[in-house]
Chains A and B, each alone.
Chain A
Amino acid sequence: MSSNDTTPKILKLPEVLDLNAAGRLHEQVLAHRGSNIDVDASEVDRLGAQCVQVLLSAVQSWRAERQDFKVVQASEAFVKTLQLLGISDESLLPQEMLK
């Protein structure tokens, strides 16, 4: 994994991101540290607050390194959950996804 790769890598999120998935997600995210990441959340059906914590922390950590960690595709469930939780970070919840 080269750290200066500018072409973003795709991180595809699984369908279920509930309480039990947070640890695994965290590992995955850490494994992509250093690369620009495009998150594909189009399959996400269930999303728990702890996974949102991991994702938002990733966004902020990537941002601090001036890199991108952003959601490029999202399911309706993903969008709704973030809205419900009051998360409006542009990287996690791009404006264009809000109809």
Chain B
Amino acid sequence: MDMNEIKEIFFQECEEQLAELESGLLALNDGDTDPETVNAVFRAVHSIKGGAGAFGLDDLVAFAHVFETTLDCVRSNKLDASPELLKVMLRSADVLADLTAAARDGGSVDKSRTSGLVTELEAFASGQPVPAAAASAAPETPAAEPEAAAPAAEPAPAGTPEATDDSGFQPVPFSFDEFGDEDDADTGAASDTQETAASVFTVRFKPRSDLYAKGNESVLLLRDLSKVGALQVRCEADDLPSVEQLDPEGAYFSWLIRVETDQDEDAVRQVFEFAEWDCTLEVTAGADEEAFAATSASGEDQPMAPVPFDLSLLDDAAPVVTAAEPAAEAQTLAAADSAPEPEPAAPAPAPALAAEADAPLAPPELPRAAKAIAAEAEKKEITVAAVPTAPQTIRVDLDRVDRLINLVGELVINQAMLAQSVVENESGSTSAINLGLEELQQLTREIQDSVMAIRAQPVKPVFQRMGRIVREIADMTGKNVRLVTEGENTEVDKTVIDKLAEPLTHMIRNAVDHGLETPEKRTAAGKNAEGVLKLSAKHRSGRIVIEIADDGAGINRERVRSKAIENGLITPETNLSDEEIDNLIFHPGFSTAEKLSDISGRGVGMDVVKRSIQSLGGRISITSKPGHGSVFTMSLPLTLAVLDGMVVSVANQTLVVPLTAIVETLQPEKNDIHSFGSSQRLIAIRDTFCPLVDVGNILDFRAEPANPIDGVALLVESEGGGQRALMVDAIQGQRQVVIKSLEANYTNVPGIAAATILGDGRVALILDVDAVVTASRGHALRPEMSLPATG
């Protein structure tokens, strides 16, 4: 496995983590207060950061780090998961997704957006949320900020490296000049820094054996900790059994550690970040002298007095800060604190600078990134293991699955051919052969179902992506929108999923942009200012049905109608049902938006959506209630590989009609057929009349409509267009056919959805029922339906 493959796996995992992240954040947004949700969210960001570190994706690491820091504050209850914070976090999740995508496919990410969010996140983490406007107005990256602040402080060169310390947590640079100014926002952060200067933390660290099993090492963790500050370490070995009972791979030691550092608690916690799921970790501010004393007192038998650890003893750990150095810094800062006047403070930074210069410390972010890479390289396993146990899965190249599916398709065809030739040579066939054939057919079917199940995936990822679209459009249009999703676990073929995103995006945009009203209008109409967009998926009779429902104003039929007349789509006399008016919006070139916005495009909207849904073998329709909103319903085949079809003959051609479209079949009686207008015919079915559509005529197989009495009528239901009776010459049978794309092998043929190979080896076309029904409605509605001679 080469590096690229590993990287590819990482990105796949990223996708999963991002999905996890988003669903977690959304759950929090909906009022979920379960700490495990926060943990899951944190883990997701953390894993992405870890992996990104291993691959040196610095942008991703940097952003994930800030994000994670803020999440950690939420996790440790230092920060409340307020709606404002969650809004920022959701946007951060989007940016994280962008950064991941950029890292994967190249391309760039809007830097100002990233840095704006970084500022906002850091502000939250420091407990001083900045107004969103201010944050987004700050185009500088945080890394650049200390420089910007530097000229303000005369002795500033010393302050600059100080401000972005190793942990990267100091959100706002401080300058010594500002110490006296209580009102200044920066001062707050500066005095925060003062408080954390030379603070003491007590760390209780008890590894579990998993920690070692995953390649972590307490020694290394303690060594890293010693770089954060001066340590006093007390090893507690009470649990250590006798050597006979000892499990050499067990974890018996635990540690009580006093850390004296100028950094904050997060810096301390960060040392254990790759191990924290496999140990008990407690970090408390302040020295727990009692604990140290107590254990010392009780431990006369175990000579484990706290050992002050001198960092200078470490030689093999690359660049090491001397123990004296943080102390020196601490003193410097203390001095600065006690001398708030700029002048006396001025000399103080000098020693600090000296101390910095002495320490062979690389620029702040570097050692951390380097460490992350090193740590992650051998500890990748941990991030994987941190994910809650899921059913075991393997990753398989999609090509392999497709090849298998193709082969199974061939098998199905072959099986059909075999069956056919047995039938043709009926004389020799025995019941044993027939029985065997039947079993073969059943087996083939089962194999096919199982293979299809491999490609079946929940629609969840696509739905989750829509959450982001909604947020973005809502932001752009100034509307309040809540996206509610339902049935995310409904499974459908991966090809369908892949192709679903685009039309869905378009429809969601439309729904928010045109469907939902502005908060003011909503309030005026007595509705909740927050609009609700409901996205749901469900299985219905072998298809997946996806609905997008908004609770907006609904379609303005008057306007649609007048617009359609204006565009010459219908004549003023045309009498259309409400449903048919609604469906006008799917017509090419139709747009009711009086103001063209860059969101819903320039009137190429819904017809494009309709076409892409149709190319998936799907149908789309709309129902709308004025004042109550609209519902778009898409119905798609579960798979694009096979379908159950009725094989029919039309004008000596063999066609396949998808079984899902057929409501019933009937043999027309002479009395049931009625003429209507010049060329239209109706068929009476149980007290209702249904337009009769001659398929052969529509597809130009024959010029003159055939006599209905000689044929068979297939009653089909089309999305939105009501029922139609399709006239065919005869029904040959019903079977499962393997779909071969016409677009891929030939070219798109209107009225034909795809092709298939029959048992006798001939190609048969699969009828696009919806297109035929649409075509039957009248020429004005179907300029694209002028069919070339087919067949």
Whether A85 and B235, one on each chain, are in contact in the complex, defined by CB atoms closer than 8 angstroms, is: yes
Determine the distance from Cα of A52 to Cα of B306 in the docked complex, in whole angstroms: 17
Q: Which residues of A contact B (CB under 8 A)?
A: 18-19, 22-23, 25-26, 29-30, 33, 47-50, 52-54, 56-58, 60-62, 64, 76-77, 79-81, 83-90
- Which residue of chain B has its CB nearest to the CB of A62? B243
Determine the distance from Cα of A92 to Cα of B249 in the docked complex, in whole angstroms: 20
Determine the distance from Cα of A57 to Cα of B239 in the docked complex, in whole angstroms: 10
Determine the distance from Cα of A80 to Cα of B317 in the docked complex, in whole angstroms: 12
Whether B303 and A88, one on each chain, are in contact in the complex, defined by CB atoms closer than 8 angstroms, is: yes
Question: B101-137 vs A: 1/0 string, CB under 8 Å?
Answer: 0000000000000000000000000000000000000
5 interchain residue pairs of minimum CB distance: A86-B233, A26-B248, A86-B235, A49-B218, A22-B248
**Which segment, of B24-32, B219-227, B412-420, B618-626, faces chain A?**
B219-227
Contact of B246 among A18, A26, A62 (CB under 8 A): A26
Whether A88 and B243, one on each chain, are in contact in the complex, defined by CB atoms closer than 8 angstroms, is: no
> Is residue B253 contacting chain A, with contact meaning CB distance below 8 A?
yes
10 A-B pairs (CB sep. < 8 Å): A19-B215, A50-B248, A53-B250, A61-B242, A79-B313, A81-B219, A86-B257, A87-B237, A88-B304, A90-B303
Question: B208-233 vs A: 1/0 string, CB under 8 Å?
Answer: 00001001011100110010000001
- Which residue of chain A has its CB nearest to the CB of B233? A86
Contact of B309 among A22, A56, A84 (CB under 8 A): A84
Contact of B242 among A60, A89, A90 (CB under 8 A): A60
Contact of A50 among B241, B249, B313 (CB under 8 A): B249
Q: Which B residues touch A84, using CB under 8 A? A: 219, 222-223, 226, 233, 309, 313-314
Q: Which B residues touch A18, using CB under 8 A? A: 217
Q: Which B residues touch A22, using CB under 8 A? A: 248-249
Q: Which A residues touch B243, using CB under 8 A? A: 26, 29-30, 33, 54, 57-58, 60-62
Determine the distance from Cα of A33 to Cα of B242 in the docked complex, in whole angstroms: 11
Question: B284-316 vs A: 1/0 string, CB under 8 Å?
Answer: 000000000000000000111111011001111
Determine the distance from Cα of A11 to Cα of B142 in the docked complex, in whole angstroms: 56
Q: Which B residues touch A61, using CB under 8 A? A: 242-244
Whether A53 and B240, one on each chain, are in contact in the complex, defined by CB atoms closer than 8 angstroms, is: yes
Whether A86 and B217, one on each chain, are in contact in the complex, defined by CB atoms closer than 8 angstroms, is: no
| Given A53-B252, A84-B223; 6 other pairs, CB 8 A cutoff | A18-B217, A48-B217, A56-B240, A60-B243, A83-B307, A86-B233
Q: Which A residues touch B307, using CB under 8 A? A: 83, 86-88
Task: Describe B's contact surface by its main secondary structure.
Answer: loop
- Which residue of chain A has its CB nearest to the CB of B207? A49
- Which residue of chain A has its CB nearest to the CB of B241? A57
Q: Which A residues touch B242, using CB under 8 A? A: 57, 60-61, 64
Q: Which B residues touch A87, using CB under 8 A? A: 235, 237, 304, 307
- Which residue of chain A has its CB nearest to the CB of B215? A19
Determine the distance from Cα of A53 to Cα of B248 in the docked complex, in whole angstroms: 8
Determine the distance from Cα of A64 to Cα of B242 in the docked complex, in whole angstroms: 9
Determine the distance from Cα of A13 to Cα of B187 in the docked complex, in whole angstroms: 56
Contact of A23 with B248 at beta-carbon distance under 8 Å, contacts A30-B243, A84-B309 already known:
yes
Interface size of B as a range: 35 or more
Q: Which residues of B contact A (CB under 8 A)?
A: 207, 212, 215, 217-219, 222-223, 226, 233-235, 237, 240-244, 246, 248-253, 255, 257, 302-307, 309-310, 313-316
Q: Which B residues touch A76, using CB under 8 A? A: 315
Q: Which B residues touch A89, using CB under 8 A? A: 302-304
Determine the distance from Cα of A81 to Cα of B253 in the docked complex, in whole angstroms: 14
Q: Which B residues touch A29, using CB under 8 A? A: 243
Determine the distance from Cα of A33 to Cα of B250 in the docked complex, in whole angstroms: 20
Q: Which B residues touch A33, using CB under 8 A? A: 243-244
- Most chain B Cβ neighbours within 10 Å, of A26, A62, A64: A26
Whether A85 and B219, one on each chain, are in contact in the complex, defined by CB atoms closer than 8 angstroms, is: yes
Contact of A49 with B313 at beta-carbon distance under 8 Å, contacts A29-B243, A61-B244 already known:
no
Whether B240 and A60, one on each chain, are in contact in the complex, defined by CB atoms closer than 8 angstroms, is: yes
Tell me the minimal C-beta distance from B203 to chain A in angstroms.
12
Tell me the minimal C-beta distance from A82 to chain B in angstroms.
9
- Which residue of chain A has its CB nearest to the CB of B249? A22
Contact of A49 with B217 at beta-carbon distance under 8 Å, contacts A25-B248, A61-B244 already known:
yes
Whether A50 and B255, one on each chain, are in contact in the complex, defined by CB atoms closer than 8 angstroms, is: no
Whether B314 and A80, one on each chain, are in contact in the complex, defined by CB atoms closer than 8 angstroms, is: yes
Contact of B212 among A19, A30, A79, A83 (CB under 8 A): A19
Q: Which A residues touch B246, using CB under 8 A? A: 26, 53-54, 57
Determine the distance from Cα of A25 to Cα of B243 in the docked complex, in whole angstroms: 11
Q: Which B residues touch A85, using CB under 8 A? A: 218-219, 222, 233, 235, 253, 255
Determine the distance from Cα of A54 to Cα of B255 in the docked complex, in whole angstroms: 17
Tell me the minimal C-beta distance from B619 to chain A in angstroms.
60
Q: Which B residues touch A58, using CB under 8 A? A: 243
Tell me the minimal C-beta distance from A50 to chain B in angstroms.
6
- Which residue of chain A has its CB nearest to the CB of B314? A80
Determine the distance from Cα of A83 to Cα of B314 in the docked complex, in whole angstroms: 10
Tell me the minimal C-beta distance from A62 to chain B in angstroms.
8
Tell me the minimal C-beta distance from B322 to chain A in angstroms.
15
